[in-house]
Protein backbone atom coordinates (compact mmCIF):
# COMPACT_ATOMS: atom_id res chain seq x y z
CA UNK A 1 0.00 0.00 0.00
CA UNK A 2 1.17 3.50 -0.81
CA UNK A 3 0.17 6.74 0.88
CA UNK A 4 -0.95 10.16 -0.33
CA UNK A 5 -0.59 12.59 2.58
CA UNK A 6 -2.53 15.86 2.47
CA UNK A 7 -0.27 18.11 4.51
CA UNK A 8 -1.22 21.50 5.95
CA UNK A 9 1.59 24.07 5.91
CA UNK A 10 1.99 27.53 7.50
CA UNK A 11 -0.20 30.38 6.24
CA UNK A 12 2.54 32.85 7.17
CA UNK A 13 4.71 32.18 10.19
CA UNK A 14 7.01 29.26 9.34
CA UNK A 15 6.87 28.03 12.95
CA UNK A 16 3.21 27.07 12.46
CA UNK A 17 3.84 23.51 11.31
CA UNK A 18 3.44 20.24 13.20
CA UNK A 19 6.24 17.83 14.07
CA UNK A 20 4.27 15.17 12.24
CA UNK A 21 4.12 17.25 9.05
CA UNK A 22 7.89 17.76 9.09
CA UNK A 23 8.45 14.02 9.61
CA UNK A 24 6.10 13.05 6.78
CA UNK A 25 7.65 15.58 4.37
CA UNK A 26 11.05 14.06 5.13
CA UNK A 27 9.90 10.46 4.75
CA UNK A 28 7.88 10.49 1.51
CA UNK A 29 9.38 9.84 -1.91
CA UNK A 30 8.06 13.04 -3.48
CA UNK A 31 6.32 16.25 -2.40
CA UNK A 32 3.64 17.67 -4.72
CA UNK A 33 3.82 21.48 -4.55
CA UNK A 34 1.44 24.16 -5.80
CA UNK A 35 4.53 26.27 -6.61
CA UNK A 36 7.90 24.60 -6.03
CA UNK A 37 9.60 28.02 -5.67
CA UNK A 38 7.27 29.02 -2.83
CA UNK A 39 7.53 25.64 -1.13
CA UNK A 40 11.33 25.75 -1.32
CA UNK A 41 11.40 28.47 1.36
CA UNK A 42 9.60 26.20 3.83
CA UNK A 43 11.49 23.05 2.87
CA UNK A 44 14.86 24.79 3.09
CA UNK A 45 13.94 26.25 6.48
CA UNK A 46 13.44 22.74 7.88
CA UNK A 47 16.27 21.19 5.82
CA UNK A 48 13.85 18.91 3.98
CA UNK A 49 15.57 17.55 0.85
CA UNK A 50 12.73 15.40 -0.54
CA UNK A 51 12.34 15.82 -4.35
CA UNK A 52 9.41 18.01 -5.41
CA UNK A 53 6.91 17.79 -8.25
CA UNK A 54 4.77 20.69 -9.43
CA UNK A 55 1.02 20.16 -9.03
CA UNK A 56 -1.52 23.01 -9.16
CA UNK A 57 -5.07 23.82 -10.24
CA UNK A 58 -4.04 24.04 -13.91
CA UNK A 59 -2.14 20.76 -13.99
CA UNK A 60 -3.14 18.55 -16.92
CA UNK A 61 -4.74 15.12 -16.80
CA UNK A 62 -1.41 13.82 -18.02
CA UNK A 63 0.28 15.16 -14.87
CA UNK A 64 -2.45 13.62 -12.70
CA UNK A 65 -1.97 10.25 -14.44
CA UNK A 66 1.77 10.53 -13.78
CA UNK A 67 1.10 11.12 -10.07
CA UNK A 68 -1.32 8.19 -9.93
CA UNK A 69 1.26 5.95 -11.61
CA UNK A 70 3.78 6.87 -8.92
CA UNK A 71 1.28 5.84 -6.24
CA UNK A 72 0.53 2.58 -8.01
CA UNK A 73 4.27 1.89 -8.18
CA UNK A 74 4.32 2.07 -4.39
CA UNK A 75 5.69 5.58 -3.99
CA UNK A 76 4.50 7.64 -1.01
CA UNK A 77 3.59 11.26 -1.78
CA UNK A 78 2.75 14.41 0.15
CA UNK A 79 0.59 17.18 -1.26
CA UNK A 80 1.18 20.74 -0.04
CA UNK A 81 0.03 24.13 -1.28
CA UNK A 82 1.63 27.55 -1.00
CA UNK A 83 -0.05 28.01 2.38
CA UNK A 84 -2.69 26.35 4.53
CA UNK A 85 -4.64 23.15 4.05
CA UNK A 86 -4.81 21.67 0.52
CA UNK A 87 -8.32 21.48 -0.93
CA UNK A 88 -9.65 24.47 1.06
CA UNK A 89 -9.82 26.99 -1.79
CA UNK A 90 -6.50 25.47 -2.87
CA UNK A 91 -5.55 22.66 -5.26
CA UNK A 92 -6.16 19.17 -3.97
CA UNK A 93 -9.78 18.20 -4.34
CA UNK A 94 -9.50 17.22 -8.00
CA UNK A 95 -6.39 15.12 -7.42
CA UNK A 96 -7.94 13.24 -4.50
CA UNK A 97 -11.07 12.57 -6.56
CA UNK A 98 -9.00 11.15 -9.44
CA UNK A 99 -6.89 9.02 -7.12
CA UNK A 100 -10.04 7.54 -5.61
CA UNK A 101 -11.49 6.89 -9.07
CA UNK A 102 -8.43 5.45 -10.78
CA UNK A 103 -6.56 3.44 -8.16
CA UNK A 104 -7.50 -0.03 -7.06
CA UNK A 105 -9.28 -0.33 -3.72
CA UNK A 106 -6.88 -0.60 -0.77
CA UNK A 107 -3.88 0.17 -3.00
CA UNK A 108 -3.61 3.80 -1.89
CA UNK A 109 -4.46 5.33 1.46
CA UNK A 110 -5.20 9.06 1.58
CA UNK A 111 -4.32 10.53 4.95
CA UNK A 112 -4.77 14.04 6.35
CA UNK A 113 -1.91 15.72 8.22
CA UNK A 114 -3.90 18.57 9.81
CA UNK A 115 -2.58 22.00 10.63
CA UNK A 116 -2.97 25.68 9.69
CA UNK A 117 -6.01 27.01 7.86
CA UNK A 118 -6.91 30.67 7.38
CA UNK A 119 -10.61 29.90 8.02
CA UNK A 120 -10.12 28.43 11.46
CA UNK A 121 -7.45 30.98 12.41
CA UNK A 122 -9.79 33.86 11.52
CA UNK A 123 -12.84 32.37 13.23
CA UNK A 124 -10.91 31.59 16.41
CA UNK A 125 -10.27 35.30 17.04
CA UNK A 126 -13.51 36.65 15.58
CA UNK A 127 -15.24 37.21 18.90
CA UNK A 128 -18.58 36.00 17.57
CA UNK A 129 -20.57 32.79 18.01
CA UNK A 130 -19.06 30.36 15.53
CA UNK A 131 -20.83 27.16 16.53
CA UNK A 132 -22.12 27.30 12.95
CA UNK A 133 -20.78 29.18 9.94
CA UNK A 134 -20.79 29.07 6.13
CA UNK A 135 -17.58 29.17 4.07
CA UNK A 136 -17.98 30.72 0.62
CA UNK A 137 -14.35 30.72 -0.56
CA UNK A 138 -13.27 33.29 -3.15
CA UNK A 139 -15.94 35.39 -4.92
CA UNK A 140 -16.23 34.81 -8.68
CA UNK A 141 -14.51 37.55 -10.64
CA UNK A 142 -17.33 38.28 -13.08
CA UNK A 143 -20.18 35.88 -13.71
CA UNK A 144 -22.50 35.02 -10.81
CA UNK A 145 -20.87 37.64 -8.57
CA UNK A 146 -24.19 39.34 -7.79
CA UNK A 147 -25.75 35.97 -6.90
CA UNK A 148 -22.72 35.11 -4.75
CA UNK A 149 -23.09 38.29 -2.68
CA UNK A 150 -26.83 37.75 -2.36
CA UNK A 151 -26.21 34.31 -0.81
CA UNK A 152 -23.80 35.82 1.69
CA UNK A 153 -26.29 38.48 2.76
CA UNK A 154 -29.06 35.91 3.09
CA UNK A 155 -27.01 33.49 5.21
CA UNK A 156 -28.45 32.92 8.68
CA UNK A 157 -24.99 31.99 9.95
CA UNK A 158 -21.72 33.97 9.90
CA UNK A 159 -20.26 33.95 6.39
CA UNK A 160 -16.54 33.54 5.74
CA UNK A 161 -15.02 34.75 2.46
CA UNK A 162 -11.50 34.87 1.04
CA UNK A 163 -10.45 37.84 -1.08
CA UNK A 164 -7.27 39.05 -2.76
CA UNK A 165 -5.57 42.42 -2.48
CA UNK A 166 -6.69 43.27 -6.02
CA UNK A 167 -10.39 43.12 -5.20
CA UNK A 168 -10.77 43.71 -1.46
CA UNK A 169 -12.11 47.27 -1.80
CA UNK A 170 -14.40 46.31 -4.68
CA UNK A 171 -15.83 43.38 -2.70
CA UNK A 172 -16.50 45.42 0.45
CA UNK A 173 -18.15 48.21 -1.56
CA UNK A 174 -20.35 45.67 -3.35
CA UNK A 175 -21.38 44.15 -0.02
CA UNK A 176 -22.21 47.60 1.34
CA UNK A 177 -24.19 48.58 -1.75
CA UNK A 178 -26.18 45.34 -1.94
CA UNK A 179 -26.93 45.27 1.79
CA UNK A 180 -28.44 48.74 1.55
CA UNK A 181 -30.44 47.90 -1.57
CA UNK A 182 -31.88 44.75 0.01
CA UNK A 183 -32.22 46.14 3.55
CA UNK A 184 -29.97 43.39 4.90
CA UNK A 185 -28.33 44.60 8.09
CA UNK A 186 -24.67 43.79 8.63
CA UNK A 187 -24.45 43.45 12.41
CA UNK A 188 -20.73 42.88 12.50
CA UNK A 189 -17.88 42.78 10.00
CA UNK A 190 -14.34 41.53 10.50
CA UNK A 191 -11.59 41.88 7.90
CA UNK A 192 -8.36 40.03 8.68
CA UNK A 193 -5.24 40.68 6.63
CA UNK A 194 -2.01 38.67 6.48
CA UNK A 195 -2.92 36.31 9.32
CA UNK A 196 0.08 35.04 11.33
CA UNK A 197 2.46 37.28 9.39
CA UNK A 198 4.50 40.27 10.58
CA UNK A 199 1.97 42.83 9.34
CA UNK A 200 -1.19 41.05 10.49
CA UNK A 201 -4.06 43.54 10.71
CA UNK A 202 -7.60 43.06 11.98
CA UNK A 203 -10.47 45.46 11.31
CA UNK A 204 -13.71 45.06 13.23
CA UNK A 205 -17.06 46.84 13.25
CA UNK A 206 -18.80 49.15 10.80
CA UNK A 207 -18.30 48.49 7.09
CA UNK A 208 -18.00 52.21 6.23
CA UNK A 209 -15.21 52.68 8.77
CA UNK A 210 -13.39 49.57 7.60
CA UNK A 211 -13.54 50.57 3.93
CA UNK A 212 -12.22 54.05 4.78
CA UNK A 213 -9.35 52.69 6.86
CA UNK A 214 -8.25 50.31 4.10
CA UNK A 215 -8.68 52.95 1.38
CA UNK A 216 -6.68 55.56 3.28
CA UNK A 217 -3.70 53.25 3.79
CA UNK A 218 -2.40 51.75 0.53
CA UNK A 219 -0.27 49.30 2.52
CA UNK A 220 -3.47 47.88 4.02
CA UNK A 221 -4.50 46.76 0.55
CA UNK A 222 -1.63 44.30 0.28
CA UNK A 223 -1.70 40.63 1.16
CA UNK A 224 -4.45 38.04 1.53
CA UNK A 225 -7.76 38.72 3.27
CA UNK A 226 -10.34 36.77 5.23
CA UNK A 227 -13.72 38.49 5.69
CA UNK A 228 -16.29 37.40 8.27
CA UNK A 229 -19.79 38.84 7.94
CA UNK A 230 -22.41 38.43 10.64
State residue 182's pLDDT score: 87
SS3 45: helix
Fold of 2-113: Cobalt-precorrin-4 Transmethylase; domain 1 (3.40.1010)
User: Greatest CA span in the chain, whole angstroms?
Assistant: 59
pLDDT at 50: 98
Where in the chain do CATH 3.30.950.10 domains reside? 118-229
Task: Give the whole-angstrom CA distance, residue 32 versus residue 182.
Answer: 45
Class of CATH domain 118-229? alpha beta
User: Rounded distance, CA 215 to CA 170, Å?
Assistant: 11
Listed in order, the ranges of the chain carrying CATH 3.40.1010.10 are 2-113
pTM of the model: 0.91
Distance between the two ends of the chain, CA-based, in angstroms? 46
For residue 104, is pLDDT > 90? no
pLDDT band at residue 82, thresholds of 50, 70 and 90?
A: very high
13-67: pLDDT as tens digits:
999 999 999 999 999 999 999 999 999 999 999 999 999 999 998 999 999 999 9
Q: For residue 201, give the H/E element and its range.
A: strand 201-205
pLDDT for 184 equals 83
Amino acid sequence: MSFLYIVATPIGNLEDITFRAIRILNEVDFILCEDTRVSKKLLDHYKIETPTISYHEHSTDKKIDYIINLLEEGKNLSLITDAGTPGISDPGGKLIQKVLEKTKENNVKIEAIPGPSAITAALSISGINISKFVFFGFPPHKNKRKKFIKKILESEFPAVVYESKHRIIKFLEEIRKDSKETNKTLNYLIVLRELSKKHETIYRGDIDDIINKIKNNPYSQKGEFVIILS
